[in-house]
Amino acid sequence: MSDGHAHAEPLRGPSYRTTGHVEGGHLASEHAHHPMLQHHFDDMGQQAEASTLGMWVFLVTEIMFFGGLFMAYLVYRHAAPSAFQEASHHLNVFYGTLNTAILIVSSLTMALGVRSAQTSAPPKTQVMWIVITMMFGAAFLGIKAIEYTEKFRDHIVPGPGFRWEGLYPRGAEQFYSLYFCMTGLHAIHMVIGLGIMTWLALTALKGRYNAAYYTPVEVAGLYWHFVDIVWIFLFPLLYLIGRHYHAA
Amino acid sequence: MYCMVFLALLLGTGLTVAAAFVDMGPMNNVVMLTIAGVKASLVVLFFMHVRWSTRLTWVVAMAGFFWLLILFGLGMADYMTRGWVAGTLR
Amino acid sequence: METLNYLNNGHGLASWLLTKDHKRIALLYLVSITAFFFLGGMFAFMIRLELLTPAGDLMASDTYNKMFTMHGVVMVFFFLIPSIPAVLGNFLIPIMIGAKDLAFPRINLLSWYIYVLGGLFTLVAALSGGVDTGWTFYTPYSTAAANSHVITAALGIFITGFSSILTGLNFIVSVHRMRAPGLTWFRLPLFVWSMYATSLIFILGTPVIAITVLLVAAERTLHMGIFDPALGGDPVLFQHLFWFYSHPAVYIMILPAMGVISEIVQAFSRKNIFGYSFVAFSSLAIAIIGFLVWGHHLFVSGQSVYAGLMFSILSFLVAIPSAVKVFNWTATIYKGSVLLDSAMLYAFGFIGLFTIGGLTGLFLAAVGLDVHVHDTYFVIAHFHYIMVGGAIMGYMGGLHYWWPKISGRMYSEGWAKLAAGLIFIGFNLTFFPQFILGYLGMPRRYHVYPPEFQVLNIASTLGATVLAVGYLLPMVYFTYSMFYGEKASANPWGARGLEWEIPSPPPTENFLVTPIVTHGTHQYAPSREVGIV
């Protein structure tokens, strides 16, 4: 086991060390390297892998972050299923479905944007995809703003001003507490996403991204898709509870 | 190929809305969550490139969802077993 | 003429406050964490002063509530949770994996700023009157009735949580992607394994408490009925969500300390750890099983009987990997060439005190017994044995073991032994009586108690005084050593590991030449010791 000579046994170890030759023994400054390579990484490949892994680990924290709210939802829906049903009917299925479709389209355009960077498409093309994605994101937020305004108008915002005309007012208020917390948190993430996209568009315009370096685009895309996935679960859980009990 | 995934996602959305209006009893929830799960999986695998990523990425993504299940599972285990012991509220 | 190292590479405030060097960031954390330790200690002292007499004569009950709350909040969130990861983890992990830095140095610096920001929020909460809900913030008191600065404190915790998350993220990515050539997982030091396991908990648990404190703040401001029964909410839901993180949080506090002990025990027994892979896997097991036991904090809260039983069994299970570690450390020391340097004294203290703390945890995991001792001083003694007798001893041991590497200086061994002794004696005098008090029925979080408990309470306060002196001493001699201490060699303990192959203090980039690892980094076998370039 303690062989002592670095070359006498095949070098086991981290699989990302793809080079066949021994890496050790050189100083980083001896290499000509990509201007975006940070000095503590050995090569762009390692940097890209670390960045994507980092974003995935962050997304796991986001899953658990939203997860707390989903847990609250589970508990309260289990406790008052009829109330939740009743309250959910007041939500606008059309808006909800439209928003779902909008986000799905924005995910498509984002994926195409990542691909455009990956294939060294001209900066204008990359920016185009990013901007289209942002437009759909903004549209989503616009519709949510309309929905929220309607809630305020109808006095179904939880708190002292809450007035529920139908059955199960307690449960309905709970439903709307969760509705606002969950969609609100989601909307905040969308806004942050738009901010990230803005930065991405500006840097893409400068021609920074191509096949050799497109990690920020990939990583931003991961974030965007994640926010889409949260909505994919939010939509049926909030908008589609027991719709069959009323006429469509 | 992204377009095919996109169409599948739209289809899934339509399906889930339609299914909401059909009375399937408790199966409604199952159907909706399954469709949502499939849609999420499509996004994860194709749009987020997990299909072509390292196994580590896949493990990380799965771990997140799995951990949520721990929270839900053990947490709801409390709520759903309340009142199972005769004569107590718990 | 001093050689260029990370301490003198760049002078001035900006070079420290804008550094990307993980070693400097570790020192930034060391300073701020020590400050919070003092703050938390002062709150503890106020508690012990009040408890000298059975009557509530030193302070009003509201004030006393604020004392134990702030003691808990500061110690848990701003001292224990960051301590070893942010100081020793940040400093050592890149070196131990043969890298120049962590994967995301700027995020590392950001995590420190976030920690400080969260700490400031909490300081503001403390200075403007404090919080009186208990560090556990149980609802509906915290959302509806408490008239103290709950939201400020909750926000402070929320913000600091991101510091933990970013640290954990950095560690996970670094260990996966930045190891030196030849450094396979099973050649890693056990400290790295335990830090990796801790990072898993950071990532998977912290976000849940983040959303929980946000919901508390939302309920307080917007009067949404999430946890308050008067508004239709469920207070037990709060407890589920809170403890889903806060139980794994205690493993965040102990796992790094266990990693430190693994390192110290090997170095000062001149022996490889007994059962390396068992110890490595036990870290992962503790992290994972630790997520399955949170309901043992809810045994008397109205949780269902069957859930209580499940959580009880799982809590017994989680003790097993911890026991594995204790057995393996013991087996390592057995027939080793034991040296009784101060770091090793802390390790011995850890092994004994952690065992007591862990066993009393099993008492608490038994539902029937827990009903009797829940919310008594028995619980307090249990967790202080683990957190102070365990985690803080691990932290102190680690500081002593790696101080020559971090500062390039040797501290006074005589004073260090004295401090270790005072800490051990003071600690036991403080907390052992509390086991008895708790079993006899003295409740926690009360500033009055029946007069028959006074003797034990006085003993406890006396112990706390001794303990405080014990903690002050290292501040003095460590600081002294930085200016007047003897210069340390690269490997003053004759230990094994990549960190001992580089100068003390290390150069900024850690390694001038990327090391190539051909065997486990800890080889205390007496014969051949070659291979690390």
pLDDT value at residue A28: 42
Q: Which residues of C touch B84 (CB under 8 A)?
A: 304-306
Give the pair of three-digit tokens for residue C434.
């509390």
The pLDDT of residue C24 is 95
- When scoring B13, B15, B62, B71 by the number of chain A Cβ atoms within 10 A, the one with the most, hence best to mutate, is B13
Percent above pLDDT 70 for chain B: 98
Which run of H or of E encompasses C348? Answer: helix C342-365
At a CB cut-off of 8 Å and minimum separation 6, what does C14 contact?
Answer: none
CB nearest B76 (choices: A74, A107, A226): A74
What's the pLDDT tens digit per position in C361-416? 999 999 999 999 999 999 999 999 999 999 999 999 999 999 999 999 999 999 99
Chain B residues with beta carbon closer than 8 angstroms to that of C292: 70, 74
Q: How many CB atoms are located within 10 Å of the residue A87 CB?
A: 26
Q: Nearest chain B Cα to C237, which residue? A: B75
- A49: distance to nearest CA of chain C, Å? 8
Subunit contact C240:B56, Cβ cutoff 8 A = no
Subunit contact A26:C223, Cβ cutoff 8 A: no
Query: What is the complex's ipTM, to 2 decimals?
Result: 0.92
Interface test with A, best of C175, C211, C512 (most A CBs within 10 A): C211
- Give residue C190's region: left, alpha or beta (phi > 0; psi -120 to 50): alpha
Interface test with C, best of B62, B66, B76, B78 (most C CBs within 10 A): B78
**A108–B64 CB contact, under 8 Å:** no
pLDDT of the residue at A23: 39
CA distance C389 to C419: 14
Write the burial class of residue C54 (CB in 10 Å: 0-12 exposed, 13-18 middle, 19+ buried): middle
Among B74, B81, B88, whose Cβ lies nearest the Cβ of C292?
B74
Alpha-carbon span A160 to A168, nearest angstrom:
17
Q: Under a CB-based contact definition with an 8 Å cutoff, are residues C192 and C151 in contact?
A: no
* Closest CA of chain C from B12, distance in Å: 30
Q: Are C272 and B46 in contact (CB under 8 A)?
A: no
Question: How close B71 comes to chain C (CA, Å)?
Answer: 7
| CB-nearest partner of B71 from C208, C236, C306 | C208
User: C226, A72: Cβ pair inside 8 Å?
Assistant: yes
Q: What is the pLDDT of residue B29?
A: 86
Which among A16, A60, A79 has the least Cβ separation from residue C203? A60
Q: Are C137 and C219 in contact (CB under 8 A)?
A: no
Spell out the per-residue pLDDT of chain C, length 533, in tens. Answer: 567 888 888 888 999 999 999 999 999 999 999 999 999 999 999 999 999 999 988 999 999 999 999 999 999 999 999 999 999 999 999 999 999 999 999 999 999 999 999 999 999 999 998 899 999 999 889 988 877 799 999 999 999 999 999 999 999 999 999 999 999 999 999 999 999 999 999 999 999 999 999 999 989 888 888 998 888 889 999 999 999 999 999 999 999 999 999 999 999 999 999 999 999 999 999 999 999 999 999 999 989 999 999 999 999 999 999 999 999 999 999 989 999 999 999 999 999 999 999 999 999 999 999 999 999 999 999 999 999 999 999 999 999 999 999 999 999 999 999 999 999 999 999 999 999 999 999 999 999 999 999 999 999 999 999 999 999 999 999 999 999 999 999 999 999 999 999 998 999 988 888 888 887 767 776 533 444 43
Q: Which chains are adjacent to chain C, needing at least 3 Cβ pairs under 8 Å?
A: A, B
Which residue in A has a C-alpha nearest to residue C515's C-alpha? A24
Q: HSE on the CB side for C310, CA within 13 Å? A: 17
Chain B hits for C311, CB-CB cut-off 8 Å, are: 74
In the beta sheet, which residues pair with residue A210? A213
Q: Which residues of B touch C (CB under 8 A)?
A: 56, 63-64, 67, 70-71, 74-75, 77-85, 88-90
Q: Closest partner residue to A50 among C173, C182, C529, by Cβ?
A: C173
Q: What is the pLDDT along chain A (248 residues), one digit of tens a residue?
A: 333 333 344 444 454 444 333 334 344 444 467 788 888 888 888 999 999 999 999 999 999 999 999 999 999 999 888 889 888 888 999 999 999 999 999 999 999 999 999 998 899 999 999 999 999 999 999 999 999 999 888 888 887 778 888 888 888 888 999 999 999 999 999 999 999 999 999 999 998 888 889 999 999 999 999 999 999 999 999 998 877 765 43
C-alpha closest to that of C224 among A76, B64, B8, A34 = A76
Task: Give the chains touching A; criterion: ≥3 Cβ pairs < 8 Å.
Answer: B, C
For B42-67, the pLDDT digits (tens) are: 999 999 999 888 899 999 999 999 99
For chain C, the average pLDDT equals 93
Q: C144 CB near a chain A CB, below 8 Å? A: no
Output the DSSP codes for C209-270. Answer: HHHHHHHHHHHHHH---SS-GGGT--HHHHHHHHHHHHHHHHHHHHHHHHHHHHHHHHHHHT
Answer whether A242 sits within 8 Å of B28, measured CB to CB. yes
- Chain C residues within 8 angstroms (CB to CB) of chain B: 176, 204, 208, 236, 240, 244, 291-292, 294-295, 298, 302-308, 310-311
DSSP 3-state of A210: strand
Note the pLDDT of residue A3.
Answer: 37
In the chain, the amino acid numbered C523 is Q
Is A184 an 8 Å CB contact of chain C? no
Query: How far apart are alpha carbons A55 and A220 in whole angstroms?
Result: 9
Cβ(C515)–Cβ(C180) below 8 Å = yes
- Considering only CB atoms, B16 lies closest to which of A110, A222, A240, namely A240
